[in-house]
Amino acid sequence: MKGLELTRPLVVIDTETTGLNKQKDRIVEICMIKILPDETEEILSSFINPEMPIPPESTSIHGIKDEDVKGQPTFKELSKDIVNFMECCDLCGFNFENFDLKVIESELRRVGVNWSRKEKHIVDVQRIFHKMEPRNLSAAYSKYCGKKLNAHRAENDVRATIEVLKAQLEKHSELPKDVPSLNEFCSPKDPSNIDSDGKFKWYNKEAIITFGQYKGFTLKELVQRYKSYLNWIMGEDFSFEVKQMINEALEGKFPQPEIQEVKK
């Protein structure tokens, strides 16, 4: 790879899954491209039958439907090929260490394959991106306006923000030109979110929690088995929406998805 010295192969990996739960959800597609020190490449790419329905909200993201994976190999059937493909290699991906790698590890544990990332170097391209591209107002002011900002005084920051927005609208012709559309561009609504912060989401028509030690558990499971955790949330700095939903759930009233949220 130009600009990168490889002492052993680097496998660049991406997965598509049935959802965002790194412990419970399944891989429906995997692509692995192995870059060898001599710059030649090998590829392992396949749909994977997750042995469960693919939720419509996941299909809306990656476009993979149940019929696409019907008759495809299961993860168990591909597991040896996947492990062998990564043997004596380093690993790479975008948001890889926080998501794809953990999903792969969960899948391997589920099918009884003993595998460890130990001794493997991990390159996460997203982390490089975030480290190399500062995301504060000073950086934006420099990039879009070519000026140095005397930051952290309110009026200076406000005027700089206005200049940056004007420059963004001029530079990026594809940006919406009205405020409601810009709002949707900046903060697209996730139809699977139950509350504004996405602390609870719809999954198979059930409300699941998206954070903490019980991430991926349904609200009903939390009420039945982990009320103390819900009581802890009620005493912490969570939104009124979340607390109201939990309070109603503790009284036996659970949220119900709207029909349009589960349509394809």
Which pLDDT value is given to residue 67?
96
Give CA–CA dist 100/88, Å, rounded: 19
Give CA–CA dist 107/220, Å, rounded: 25
pLDDT digits (tens, 9 = 90+) for 213-254: 999 999 999 999 999 999 999 998 888 889 999 999 999 999
Question: E strands within 149-222?
Answer: 200-203, 206-209
Which pLDDT value is given to residue 129?
81
* Res. 1 pLDDT band, cuts 50 70 90: low
HSE at residue 146, side-chain half, CA atoms within 13 A, is: 0
Which pLDDT value is given to residue 202?
93
Query: What is each CA distance from 10 to 69, 89, 102, 123, in whole angstroms?
Result: 28, 6, 18, 9
Give start-end residues of each CATH 3.30.420.10 domain in the chain.
10-128
Cα torsion angle, 106, 110, 111, 117, sign: positive
Which pLDDT value is given to residue 151?
65
Which pLDDT value is given to residue 179?
83
pLDDT digits (tens, 9 = 90+) for 140-186: 999 999 999 876 667 787 788 889 989 999 999 998 888 888 878 87
Residues 6+ apart with CB under 8 A from 21: 203, 208, 215, 216
Of 67, 50, 40, give the one whose Cα is nearest residue 16.
50
Which pLDDT value is given to residue 264?
28
pLDDT digits (tens, 9 = 90+) for 42-80: 999 999 999 999 999 899 989 999 999 999 999 999 999
Which pLDDT value is given to residue 181?
87
Class at the top of the CATH hierarchy for domain 10-128: alpha beta
